[in-house]
Structure 1
Amino acid sequence: MSLLEVRHLKKYYATQKAVDDISFSIDAGSIFGLLGPNGAGKTTLLRMITGIFYPDEGEIIFEGRPFNAEKDILRIGYMPEERGLYKKMKIGDQAVYLAQLKGLSKSQAIEKVKEWFEKFEMQSWWNKKVEDLSKGMGQKLQFVTTVLHEPKLIILDEPFSGLDPVNSNLIKEEIYNLAKKGCTIIFSTHRMEQVEEICDQIVLVNKGQKMLDGKVGQIRQQFKENLYRVQTEGNIHVPVSGNFSVLKQGSHEWTIQLHNGTSTNQLLSELIQAGVPVNGFNEILPTLNDIFIRLVNGSTSATRQFQNVSL
């Protein structure tokens, strides 16, 4: 079941089409990646979903009904890329204040803030001011204030920016935990490796238009190029074949591309019959970064990165 659906959204600034007829849906309890280069239209999309901007055309369906900014905003947690914390305010007081704005009573807010501060080892920060925090510490505080009211939809715009590996992993684990509890998460970034690890589904936008939409695994399969990694022993002679090409040959590993119509069983049979000791064999699927570059820049086949040795 979809928690959120956007239908034919459009948003124009003067002559620029910031969002140009984009549609997609997000399943409840999923982690959804909104990808694209700078200026692609991601932030404009997020601002329409949160009611900050109104679309020029199209509609947003939230929990099966038209989105109502006044009522539904309390069920959304939004962590923008531009951080919005009060620099002179004490951290504990600020977190409690922001929780109250999201509908919690003061006692509920204090309880929730203490719970999250303990989880993130932030108890000693209560009386510090935001201006005294490092960028990473500020990022953790912003994340806490985004999720502590337990929203149904959580929108995170570049949530790992400025975080060290330990705190990045901490935030990542909490994203998983929130999804397991039924929260739906939109994760907006240009960092492909993070998306590949975290997200169930992605949408890729560029110049205001949707270029790609689907499950991460299915997309990688869709863009595969019949590439395989063969692990062998020493400098073995490569057999001549019309069924495959060796794109790269190392002392213990080859990168092979199957020709159309050739099965992996045929490949392995040929190698074994030629006396090649096969110690390992696996398919090489393109990363989301490969696909992203290919679609956004219109780059040619990923196999160009290998030295092409046809056999």
Structure 2
Amino acid sequence: METMLSVKNLGKTFKGKKVLENISFDVQKGEIMAVLGPNGAGKSTTIRNIMGIMYPDEGSISFRNYQEIPRNMIGYLPEERGLYKNVKVMDILLYLAELKDYPLKDAKERALTYLKKFNLEGKENVSIEELSKGMGQKVQFIASIIHEPELLILDEPFSGLDPVSQELFKDEIRNLADQGTAILLSSHQMNLVEEMADRLFMMHQGQKVIYGTMDEVKTEYANFKCTIKGKNDITILESLPEVQRVEQRENSSTLYLTKDVKPTTWLKHLPDQIMIQELIFDRITLHEIFIDIASGKKLIEEAGAVNA
């Protein structure tokens, strides 16, 4: 698979504080790569370095054979939206396409196609300030892809969208990846990331904590858990084999299990006195892994590290 973006040993210091340290990852053609981390982890600084908005103190960023990404080959949806509010939708889309040296005729055709796809047909002559937040988000997304970029950076693309619009965005992001666009995705909505990402790079305090394919991350970090609905004594649950810890809420208990547990064998050891109204056996989610790292609990450290 062709590597489109390569970030190597990135380092950045602000006022004596190291905000990025030895950050390295690749994004392949047709891949959705998620960059995750809590606020202040260094995600925005990493993206700004890739975009050329700022420059790293250490390391390198390359795009295919270019040492600096050609502006007409990159699309960017920023977290902070920035469309001119008193400009008409079509005018702003064509203007931004022109800045990327994209043919005007093709830009207009693509704009009309995407406006229809995103249920904005007939809005081309409406000013940005007249649109709802969700509609404005759709226009900003169209602006980021109108020039057919080879690399697309999406920073919190689902913010402000209702569930129906989220599905539209997810479908289009997948479609772009299928067409060969390399996509770098940053989002705090872990459930959507877990559905979409091929690989992920998780940061904390400017450093890498997880890097690998989604399957590798799930295998390494997502130990099994068993959720039992029913009122049970926590001491009995904690005494069960291969239980690392138990969390209880009202009449529900979640048992976090060791890495090498065999689900079918483990279930046979449940004693008869345990009250089970409902039982769910699955792996911990990406959301739980994120919370664990962001909160500093470090409960998953025993699982090892992913360095794909």
| TM-score of the pair, normalised by structure 2 | 0.82
* Mapping for residues 138-287 of structure 1, pairs under 5 Å: 138-228=136-226, 243=241, 247=246, 263-270=262-269, 283-287=281-285
How far, CA to CA, are the matches of 2:180 and 2:95 in structure 1? 25
User: 2:24 — aligned with what?
Assistant: 23
Residues 60-96 of structure 1 show CA distances to partners (whole Å, capped at 9, x for unaligned) of 1212x24324xx2211100111112111111111111
User: 1:46 — aligned with what?
Assistant: 47
User: 2:68 — aligned with what?
Assistant: 68
- Report the 3-state secondary structure (helix = DSSP H, G, I; strand = E; otherwise coil) of the residue aligned with 1:84: coil
| CA contact 2:62–2:68 (8 Å) conserved in 1 | no
Q: How many residues align?
A: 294
| Inter-CA distance 56–116: structure 2 relative to 1 (3 Å threshold) | same
Which is greater in Rg?
1
Which sits farther off after the overlay, 179-188 or 260-269? Answer: 260-269
AA in 2 matched with 1:178: L
User: 1:309 — aligned with what?
Assistant: none
| CA contact 1:5–1:62 (8 Å) conserved in 2 | yes
- Report the 3-state secondary structure (helix = DSSP H, G, I; strand = E; otherwise coil) of the residue aligned with 2:288: helix
Shift of 1:59: 0.6
AA in 2 matched with 1:267: W
AA in 2 matched with 1:68: E
Give identity over the alignment, percent.
Answer: 39
Residues 20-60 of structure 1 show CA distances to partners (whole Å, capped at 9, x for unaligned) of 22111122211111111122211111111122222111111
Shift of 1:269: 5.0
| TM-score of the pair, normalised by structure 1 | 0.82
Residues 133-180 of structure 1 show CA distances to partners (whole Å, capped at 9, x for unaligned) of 111111000000101211111101011111111111111110111111
2:36 matches 1:35: yes
Shift of 1:281: 7.9
User: 2:303 — aligned with what?
Assistant: none
How far, CA to CA, are the matches of 1:82 and 1:294 in structure 2? 27
User: 2:128 — aligned with what?
Assistant: 130
| CA contact 1:231–1:253 (8 Å) conserved in 2 | yes
- Report the 3-state secondary structure (helix = DSSP H, G, I; strand = E; otherwise coil) of the residue aligned with 1:53: coil
How far, CA to CA, are the matches of 1:187 and 1:129 in structure 2? 28
Which sits farther off after the overlay, 170-179 or 113-122? Answer: 113-122
Gaps of 5+ in 1: 303-311
| CA contact 1:10–1:56 (8 Å) conserved in 2 | yes
How far, CA to CA, are the matches of 2:260 and 2:43 in structure 1? 40
Shift of 1:300: 5.5
How far, CA to CA, are the matches of 1:17 and 1:224 in structure 2? 30
Which sits farther off after the overlay, 252-261 or 79-88? Answer: 252-261
User: 1:308 — aligned with what?
Assistant: none
* Mapping for residues 74-113 of structure 1, pairs under 5 Å: 74-113=72-111
- Report the 3-state secondary structure (helix = DSSP H, G, I; strand = E; otherwise coil) of the residue aligned with 1:20: strand
How far, CA to CA, are the matches of 1:77 and 1:9 in structure 2? 21
| Inter-CA distance 126–219: structure 2 relative to 1 (3 Å threshold) | same
| CA contact 2:41–2:204 (8 Å) conserved in 1 | yes
How far, CA to CA, are the matches of 2:142 and 2:260 in structure 1? 53
How far, CA to CA, are the matches of 1:259 and 1:150 in structure 2? 46
- Report the 3-state secondary structure (helix = DSSP H, G, I; strand = E; otherwise coil) of the residue aligned with 1:59: strand
User: 1:288 — aligned with what?
Assistant: 286
AA in 1 matched with 2:63: F
AA in 1 matched with 2:18: K
